[in-house]
Amino acid sequence: MTDSTKIAFLGMGVMGGPMAGHLARAGHEVTIYNRTVSRAEERSKMLADEGLTVKVAKTPAEAAAGQDVVITCVGNDADLAQVVLGEEGVLAAMKRGALFIDHTTVSAKIAREIAAQADSLGLQAVDAPVSGGQAGAENGALSIMCGGSDEAMAVATPAMDAYAGRIVHVGGVGAGQTTKMVNQICIAGVLAGLSEAVRFSDAAALDMPKVLEAVSGGAAQSWQMENRWNTMAKDEFDFGFAIDWMRKDLAIALGEAEALGVSMPVTALVDQFYKEVQSMGGGRQDTSALMRRLPKGKSKG
C-alpha cells in the first residue's frame, strides 16, 4: 500500500465518522457513504473545515468502485448484508485484487459468507471489529481484533493504523468476530460487578474518588472502572456505546455459545439486566447505565 491509498468508508456513525476522518488526515484519498446522506455530507463539511477533501457517494456501489480498500462500520448482520452482498453491494463493484475490511460487530457466520464471496470475486477480506468506543474512535486509539489471511492483513494494517492503538491478527476468517464476542462477554460481567460496587460504596457513605484511587491500583482494576466509576457515581450515562447495541452484541455471543455448546449463565443474566434498563427508557444510554436497575441503598451518611 502506498502512502496515499484510495479508500471508501461506509457508515458515518459515532465510530465510522471519526475513523474516516483519521484516514483523510493520514493522507488517503477518501470517499464516504451513509444511508442517511446528510450525515455523510455533514462529515465531509467538517473535514473540509480542516482543509481536507472527502468525496460523498450516493450508493454503496458508487463508493466502492475503483477503490483499493473498502471499509464498513454499520449496524448489524442485516445492514452489512444489504451494503456488501448482492448485485448492488460493494463486493460486486470492487476491482479485482482490492481489499474489504469490516469493522461492524456481527456474527462470525456473515463474516465467513462475505469472505467466501470476496474470494470468488478475486478480492481479499478481513473481519475486524473494534473496541474502545466513541472516545477510542475520536482519538485514533481503537483496539482492533482481526480475522483473515496473512496476505490480507499485510494490506489492511497500514490503513487501520490511522485510527488504531492496537491491531491483533487473531486467526482466520471469522476469528475477529468471535474474539469481539469474548470482549463483550468480559465487559458485561465487569459492568455488572462495577454497578453493584458503586451502589454499595454510595450506601456506605464512602468518598467515591478515594475508593477509586484505592481499588483501581489493585486486582479490581479495569478499563471500565478507570473510565466509568466517577460518571456512574454521578448518574451520567451519555458516552457513545448504547445499551441497544450491547444487547445486539450479547445476542450474537449467546447464539454462538449455544452453537458451541458453551454455558454462559452470567452473560445471559446480564443481558436480561440490560433488558430491564431498556424498559426504563435507557436503551440509548451508555452500557454503564446498567446500574440504573439497582435502587440506592440507605446511606449510613
Residues 6+ apart with CB under 8 A from 277: 243, 283, 285, 289, 290, 292, 293
87: Cα separation from own chain's centroid: 27
| Class of residue 38 by CB neighbours under 10 A (exposed 0-12, middle 13-18, buried 19+) | exposed
Are the beta carbons of 4 and 68 closer than 8 angstroms?
no
- Of 45, 95, 180, 300, the catalytic one is 180
40: Cα separation from own chain's centroid: 19
Half-sphere exposure in the Cβ direction for 122 (13 Å, CA): 6
Residues 6+ apart with CB under 8 A from 253: 181, 184, 185, 264, 267
Catalytic, 45? Answer no
Residue type, 63: A
Radius of gyration of the chain (CA): 20
Backbone angles phi, psi at 190, to 5 degrees: -65, -45
Reduced to 3 states, what is the DSSP secondary structure of residue 131?
Answer: strand
Report the helix count and the strand count for the chain, using DSSP H and E.
Answer: 13, 9
| Class of residue 32 by CB neighbours under 10 A (exposed 0-12, middle 13-18, buried 19+) | buried
* Cα separation, 155 vs 220, whole angstroms: 38
| Class of residue 199 by CB neighbours under 10 A (exposed 0-12, middle 13-18, buried 19+) | middle
Catalytic residues: 180
